[in-house]
Structure 1
Amino acid sequence: MEAAGEADPRRWYTTNLVGVPAPLLASSAFNAHPQSLHIAGTRETNSGLFALLARCGSADEARDVFAHYMSLAFGLARPEPGEGDGPNERRRWRSSYLKLLQGWGLDSNSAAGAVLKGWVESRFGLVPAFHAVPLARFPSPAWIAYLEQKAASRYHNNSIFQQLDLLFEFCQWMLARFALLGSGAHVTLWRGSTRCEEQIVDGSLRERRCTVRLNNLVSFSTTAEQAQCFGDWVFEARVPMAKLLLVPGLLNTTSLHGEAEVLAIGGNYEVEARYD
């Protein structure tokens, strides 16, 4: 007989590389009392990058250093005419953290979104709950589609998880050094939603304060007005800085900036909900 919840991915967690048990990391208790998170070995194996960043006197200078390092370390620059003419080289530069972020910005349920959610699984131990459709009972066609997309070579090559590791560590470094979203352990963000009832784990929308289970990687907006574009219900949440992967002003790119979008590690969040 199958144990209760065994086939329900909402009860699943995996091992991780941040030193905090995944169930605790996903809890509202962690969000209330966060601690710093670091992906094991990332800063140590890229000590040269962080030594260069330590010498930077401005956020602009740090952004340039990070972009240049990533381009050299992972061959992300477009080959010059006559260089890298082999099919493998032409493809290699396209597999990058920037392409993933652009793909997420267009559609978080795309193949790029699947790779990002897979990275969160691998590094933080949080299993996704949604990818185009709810990822409910396993196995299922929805899960098979997600697994195929997150492992597809279109994005999943060129050490893409290591690129995302560095992006996370750079984001945490920038938040601490240049206070891109202000000081303190939390930032207030907003999220528009149309699938509210299935996300609630405690409380109710009628009470306006409740706990919701968000996907393992989730987008927030920096203002309530921008969040209204993405759903009739707007959640206001205090998000730990330690859970942020991408914030406006982090990179020299316009990807996601149109919505002032923030990418954060998900889990259970206590929110204040309002209907607009």
Structure 2
Amino acid sequence: MPDTLLNQPVREDPDRWYCSNMVGVPVGLIGSTAFNRCLRRMSIHGTRETHPGLFRLLGRCETQAAAAEVFAHYMQIEFGLDQDRDDASRRRATSYLELLRGWGVDSNCPKAAVLKGWVESRFGLVPIFHRQRLGLFPSPGWSAYLQDKTDSRFHTNCIYQQFDLLYEYCQWSIRHFKAPGPRFVRLWRGTNAIEEQLVEGDARQLLCTVRLNNLVSFSDSRERADEFGDWVLETEVPTVKLLFFPGLLSGHVLGYEGEYLVIGGRYKVRAHHGWF
């Protein structure tokens, strides 16, 4: 082989990477359209076993609002989230709420990259977009994403473990209160990049399959989704792929009402162009 070829960097397709995860379900299945219909539950290994007290307390709650208060109080105590932010003698504790609000402002900021990195670590799904389409590896886009997702400012205070608990609490809540599911929820997402996401079918024929980023925002309002792009994708999301839904936590968390955080992969969607 010529030396010129030996010196060229290997460019890999991240979609073909073998990735481990912490939910005991093959990554290829999690990211497939088949998974979205199979009604299979997922649980992040060791999370509930490490925090049995939280789920005992949650089990006594009769309403979603009461459960949200219990979860917030437990997270404050377990991770020191109520510490004095003006205390210069110690570094401020990073909070899951801080990162969620960061996502709500800009889903391509470093805080959002940490969230995408959490999905990558726990579910094995690699992102396909962060500031730009990531494409083959290595690339400048991948370098920027890796730098953002490992930003030391947001990797204090067991931040991944905080999101592990958020996911398990979300799934507990869905099963306990049978909302917004119990198995599926119809959601909408606005986009201007339908052709880049398309993997099967033709968007202009209404039904098609798209590959979404490993973590994406959806809306429970068609009208609101229409504000975010020329195309609106309509689909049924399995509730096991929800990290956050409106009412799960106390107070206002994300950027707008009706926003859901959904673990991505391939989805069969109805693609609507413009107002419908």
User: Normalised by the shorter chain, which TM-score bucket?
Assistant: over 0.9
| Match in the other structure for 1:76 | 81
Q: TM-score, normalised by structure 1?
A: 0.93
* 1:52 correspondence with 2:50: no
Deviates more, 1:163-172 or 1:27-36: 27-36
Task: Name the SS of the counterpart of 2:270 in structure 1.
Answer: strand
The alpha carbon displacement at 1:257 in A equals 6.0
Matched, 1:28 2:27: no
d(CA) in 2 for partners of 1:196, 1:239: 18
Q: Match for residue 201 of structure 1?
A: 199
1:215 aligns with 2:220: no
Root-mean-square deviation (Å): 1.7
- The Cα shift of 1:148 comes to 0.8
Q: CA deviation at 1:179?
A: 2.4
Rounded to whole Å, the distance in 2 between the matches of 1:273 and 1:188 is 14
1:1-276 equivalences under 5 Å are: 7-79=12-84, 84-88=87-91, 91-92=92-93, 95-183=94-182, 185-256=183-254, 258-276=256-274
- Contact conserved, 2:246 with 2:257, CA < 8 A, in 1? no
Deviation at 1:6, TM superposition (A): 6.4
1:60, CA displacement in angstroms? 1.4
Instruction: Note if contact 1:56-1:62 (Cα within 8 Å) is conserved in structure 2.
Output: yes
User: Which stretches of structure 1, 4 residues or more, deviate above 3 A after TM superposition?
Assistant: none
Gaps of 5+ in 1: none
Q: How many residues align?
A: 267
Give the deviation of 1:12 after TM superposition: 2.8
Is contact 1:248-1:257 (8 Å) kept?
no
Deviation at 1:140, TM superposition (A): 1.1
**In 2 relative to 1, CA 80–224 (structure 1 residues): closer, same or farther, beyond 3 Å?**
closer
CA distance in 2, matches of 1:182, 1:124: 21
Matched residues in 2 for 1:247 and 1:13: separation? 30
Normalization by structure 2: what TM-score? 0.93
* Aligned equivalents of 1:71, 1:61: Cα separation in 2: 16
Q: What is the CA-CA distance between 1:13 and the residue it aligns to?
A: 4.3
CA deviation profile, 1:140-186 (whole Å, cap 9, x unmatched): 11111111111111111110000000000000011111123143x11
The SS at the match of 2:175 is helix
Equivalents in 1 of 2:39, 2:244: separation in Å?
A: 18
Per-residue CA deviations over 1:78-118 (Å, capped at 9, x if unaligned) read 4187xx44042xx22xx110000000000000001100000
Deviates more, 1:253-262 or 1:25-34: 253-262
Query: Structure 2 counterpart of 1:30, which letter?
Result: F
* Long gaps (5+) in structure 2: none
The answer to whether the Cα contact below 8 Å between 1:171 and 1:250 also exists between their aligned partners in 2 is yes
Note the C-alpha offset of 1:75.
Answer: 0.6
CA contact (8 A) 1:16 1:122 kept: yes
Distance 2:191 2:82 in 1: 37
How many Å separate the matches in 1 of 2:56 and 2:90? 35
Give 1:139 deviation, angstroms: 1.0
- Give secondary structure in 1 for the equivalent of 2:36: helix
In the TM superposition, residue 253 of structure 1 has moved relative to its aligned partner by 2.4
Is the CA contact 1:226–1:259 (under 8 Å) kept in the aligned structure 2? Answer: no
Residues in 2 aligned to 1:214 and 1:78: alpha-carbon distance in whole angstroms: 37
SS at match of 2:112: helix
Alignment check: 8 A CA contact 2:32 2:267 kept: yes
Q: Is the 8 A contact 2:65 2:247 kept in 1?
A: no
